[in-house]
Structure 1
Amino acid sequence: MTDDFETLQVKWRDDGIVVATLNRPDRLNSMTALMFDEFELLARRITTDFSVRVLVLTGAGRAFCGGYDIDAAGELATLSAMEMLNLQERGSRGLVAIRNLRIPVIAAVNGAAAGGGLSLALAADIRIASPTARFNAAFARIGLSAGDLGASWLLPRLIGPAFAAELAFTGRFVAADEALRLGLVNSISAEGGVVDDALAMATTICGNSPSGVRLSKTALRLNQEIDSYAAAMELENRGQTLLTRTADMPEALAAFREKRPPHFTGS
């Protein structure tokens, strides 16, 4: 597939894994309106390619994502209210498109994830950190709210409301080891190994039923957004019923009985 992105470097691998690298290393991979649009474009392309099983997000150079580009941020106060709302919605569409992908998204956080970069990492399903990874909700430091690009919804659900409030109000950095203790990241890689570890996890995921993984993500994502145990059960029931009508479920049982690896097709 042609890689015609400007702010991303996208590698479409033959094993069902797509690696998208934020590619503005001279600007700490900071976000722009174009990058928001390219998140949407990437999500649309993945959605139409059923061979893609996992997306890995990382950053070029020494940062994951430094948030919204500070040079562009200087112009925000000059925008009209509706112009600013349009920009916010542009950013929201980009991150929602990544979060709502039917496939798992793994953030290989190779350095600082600040402001909107934290929001992007939070939009992933799984976060793996390098030893030099750092996270902060920098918004209040520049006169903005930590209610930005989904951070105020996702962060309390990951680390609890008290720690989320602390990070939002202080804007302090959280190093990789503290992020692991808080539950902000799943694991810390050896130096230089974060992308390899993300690819290894992605490969493990690709060894499972495509349909099973897809509906597992659907259940986990949507059931965060409802407060009813019964409604969660209803969604799960429909997913399990659908999966028993696919070829993968009986194939998995047959492979278990015959002591061989299953051959999943996603159909």
Structure 2
Amino acid sequence: MDDHARDAAGFTYVYPVVSRRAGGVSVGINLNPNNACNWRCVYCQVPSLTRGGPPPIDLAQLEHELDTMLHDIVEGDFMATRVPEAARRLNDVAFSGNGEPTMSPEFPDAVARMRGLLARYDLLGRIKVVVITNGSQMYRERVQQALGVLRDMNGEVWFKLDRAPRDGYSEVNQVQLNRQAVSRHLAAAARNCRTWLQTCMFMREGKLPDDAEIQAYLDFVSEQMANGVKLEGVLLYGLARPSMQIEAPLLAAAPGDWMQSVADRIAALGLAVRLSA
């Protein structure tokens, strides 16, 4: 059983994720408590998702919440009372909330405060730090500088790439995408921090993505690698939990053997693949 509730700790910005499958605990930081994002992915699990950016972040409150959570995990009884024995390990701290975290002007300050707390609890370099992002703000200098700080504390970027970007409308992400811009943003992310692609595959109206769509994705990834973009690999996943968007009745999980076939095709490019169907 996984506990992914954003308010599981009763906080505004910080929440724990207890995952038996992952074999550990992740501490999430939600910079979008207003459920607003600049994208609207059809598979998104955020209820009442709206278009827009995050509200101003109370950095002192965020720091207090993260301090309290890390204290409970490292020095308190959180693990003994809330976590199955097999999962009593702190895996990571992740900027993963109800919208795009890098949209927040306070994102760099939040990264800096997190770094200070990880140092206080002797966790720097001992756990992963992750930012899960759609990559749309990677052109901003403040975001790139924050990624450099993340890199120096065992950080990773999980960059959303669900389909090959074509100039114009993306049905999966409900945004206007520009292929060259996505390429630039991905290169900026990989230049400043270790970067994984994060890709969601699923059925829509009973149909899987066709071979042309998969090949276009593979060709785009190959093109980035040929251009010198260093990627750690691909996090390939399916619909583990139901969408909260209006398209939800149209979506279904892809068969496991089909997901494995896609993973094999990605691996043939020379990339590591972590499959979570």
Please classify the TM superposition score into its range, dividing by the shorter chain length. 0.3 to 0.5
TM-score by length of 1: 0.39
Identify the structure with the greater strand proportion. Answer: 2
TM-score by length of 2: 0.38
